[in-house]
Amino acid sequence: MKVWKTEIRAIDPVDGRIKTWGGIAVMGDTRRSAQENCRLHGHGYLKVTEYIGEFVNETEDDPLYDISTN
């Protein structure tokens, strides 16, 4: 699944000016589906901005897989 960057425009409590702040990373097959995931999970105030990369799920075949999670 694709991972997307988000941002939020909010008032800076230090100087009272509106600024753009980095948000959380969200998943979605498209920018639109990532934006919908934000809305469905209570983060509708975030704007999906750019594609980061692919999420890769760890498996037992992965040499970096932590066997303590089994």
Angle at 26 between CA 9 and CA 47, to 5 degrees: 25
Average per-residue pLDDT for the chain: 88
For the chain, report the end-to-end CA distance as a whole number of angstroms: 23
| Whole-angstrom distance, CA of residue 28 vs CA of residue 17 | 32
The residues spanned by each domain of the chain are 2-56
pTM beyond 0.85: the answer is no
Residue linked to tokens 């999420």: 55
Q: Is the pLDDT of residue 68 over 50?
A: no
Residue 1's identity, in one-letter code, is M
